[in-house]
C-alpha cells in the first residue's frame, strides 16, 4: 500500500513537471491565413509592426482595409477576408514600393546588410488615405 502511494505521488510529481516544462517552452510559430505579399511565417510582432506603420502612414484604422467578420456582433475584424477592395489596393501598393526600393535604392543597407526602404507609404500619403489629398 505504501509503495502504491509512493508510485502515485511520484507519477503526479513527474506529470506536473512535464506540464510545467510544456507551458514554458517556446510556442509554435503562428501562421497567418491569406498573406499574399508578406512572408507566410512572419511573427505576430513583426506583422503588427508593419500593420501599425501602414495605419500611421495613411492615418486610418484597421477597418479601413479589413472587413468585419460576418458572424460577429462585436464588429471583430476578419483579417483573412478579401471583402474590401482597399485590401487589394494595399497589396498592390506594397508590391509597388517594394519594386521601387529594390530597383532604385537597394544599395542603402543597415548594419546587418538588409536593404532599407527609402520609399514607404508615408512618402506619398502623408497620413492621408489617398496620396495627394489636401487637409
pLDDT tens readout for residues 18-37: 787 777 765 555 678 999 99
What residues does each domain of the chain span? 1-135
Q: Average pLDDT in the 55-77 region?
A: 90
Measured CA to CA, the distance from residue 11 to residue 107 in angstroms comes to: 60
Measured CA to CA, the distance from residue 76 to residue 39 in angstroms comes to: 24
Q: Which pTM does this prediction carry?
A: 0.69
Q: Which of 41, 62, 37 is nearest to 51 (CA)?
A: 62
Overall size of the chain counted in residues? 135
Q: What is the CATH number of domain 1-135?
A: 1.10.468
Q: For 7-16, 50-59, 76-85, which range has the lowest pLDDT when averaged over its residues?
A: 7-16
Measured CA to CA, the distance from residue 100 to residue 51 in angstroms comes to: 20
Amino acid at each position: 500500500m505504501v509503495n502504491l502511494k509512493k508510485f502515485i505521488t511520484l507519477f503526479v510529481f513527474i506529470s506536473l513537471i512535464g506540464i510545467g516544462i510544456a507551458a514554458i517552452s517556446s510556442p509554435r510559430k503562428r501562421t497567418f491565413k491569406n498573406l499574399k505579399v508578406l512572408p507566410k511565417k512572419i511573427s505576430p510582432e513583426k506583422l503588427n509592426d508593419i500593420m501599425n506603420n501602414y495605419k500611421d502612414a495613411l492615418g486610418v484604422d484597421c477597418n479601413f482595409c479589413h472587413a468585419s467578420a460576418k458572424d460577429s456582433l462585436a464588429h471583430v475584424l476578419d483579417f483573412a477576408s478579401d471583402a474590401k477592395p482597399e485590401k487589394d489596393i494595399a497589396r498592390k501598393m506594397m508590391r509597388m514600393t517594394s519594386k521601387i526600393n529594390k530597383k532604385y535604392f537597394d544599395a542603402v543597407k543597415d548594419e546587418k546588410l538588409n536593404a532599407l526602404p527609402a520609399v514607404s507609404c508615408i512618402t506619398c500619403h502623408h497620413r492621408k488615405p489617398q496620396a495627394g489629398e489636401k487637409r
